[in-house]
Structure 1
Amino acid sequence: MGLLSFIKGAGEKIFGASEAQAATADDLKKEVEKHGFSTEGLDIQVDGDKVTVKGNAATTEDAEKIALALGNTIGVAAVESEIAVETPSEEARFYTVQKGDTLWKVAEEQYGAGKGAKYTEIFEANKPLLSHPDKIYPGQVLRIPALV
């Protein structure tokens, strides 16, 4: 998956993090676990505002969601994902939420005019990182899956 960029002033506020620097590796592991993902075998390293994560994940989707859980936190500007995937699949695209966006608007922009109702695909692709379709914020990075 490689390097993902984030807005380091946007995201979940984790103890010890600031806009200048990400939280500690242990606190970031807790953030990943909070979303229901195992951190067993994950190696998370923090260097200022860049986080590198290595290890294994069952699916491409899980690997992407782990990277998003790390990156959508205050103080993280980039996540270098070196997660090996046991069952690879097509990688999703990523979208950074802008002021005034809704999932409907994002779906229209990403999938084409008249496809706003496909916002549910985006919502489902970002669970459990999203708890409700109306709870997105500027600077947040979302997975945009291919339509099937």
Structure 2
Amino acid sequence: MGLLSFIKGAGEKLFGASEAQAATADDLKKEVEKHGFNAEGLDIQVDGDKVTVKGNATSTEEAEKIALALGNTLGVAAVENELKVDSPAADAAFYTVVKGDTLWKIAEHHYGAGKGGKYEVIFDANKPLLSHPDKIYPGQVLRIPPLD
């Protein structure tokens, strides 16, 4: 999957995390589980502001979401996603939210003018990391799947 970049000063604040240092591997595992993913068998390693995750995922989508759950936490600047996938699919694009963004605006940017209504595709692609289409924040990284 590769290396994903994040803004380490943005994201969920976990116990023990700071802008200079990511949370512990155990706390990051809890974050993955909080979003409903199985963290059993995941090998999460923390080196300063870089997190490496190894193990297995059922799909490319799940592997990407696990990486986002780890990266969208305070103190993480990069996630090296080395998860092996049982059912590979095309990788999604990733987008870092900036001030003033909405999912509609992001959909128009990625899918083309007049396609803002496809924001639901982006919202669905980021569940359960997103609980509502209006609850995005600057610095957050989102999955942007290709349109069918």
TM-score by length of 1: 1.00
- Name structure 1 gaps, 5 residues minimum: none
Deviation at 1:143, TM superposition (A): 0.2
Deviation at 1:54, TM superposition (A): 0.2
- Name structure 2 gaps, 5 residues minimum: none
Q: Aligned letter for 1:112?
A: G
| Sequence identity percentage | 82
Q: Aligned letter for 1:128?
A: P
Give me the whole-angstrom Cα distance separating, in 2, the residues matched to 1:122 and 1:99. Answer: 18
Q: Residues 69-148 of structure 1: matches in 2 within 5 Å?
A: 69-148=69-148
Q: Aligned letter for 2:4?
A: L
Runs of 4+ in 1 over 6 A off after TM superposition: none
TM-score by length of 2: 1.00
Provide the aligned length of Structure 1 versus Structure 2. Answer: 148
Q: Residues 12-51 of structure 1: matches in 2 within 5 Å?
A: 12-51=12-51
Give me the whole-angstrom Cα distance separating, in 2, the residues matched to 1:49 and 1:57. Answer: 23
Alpha-carbon RMSD across the aligned residues, in angstroms, is 0.3
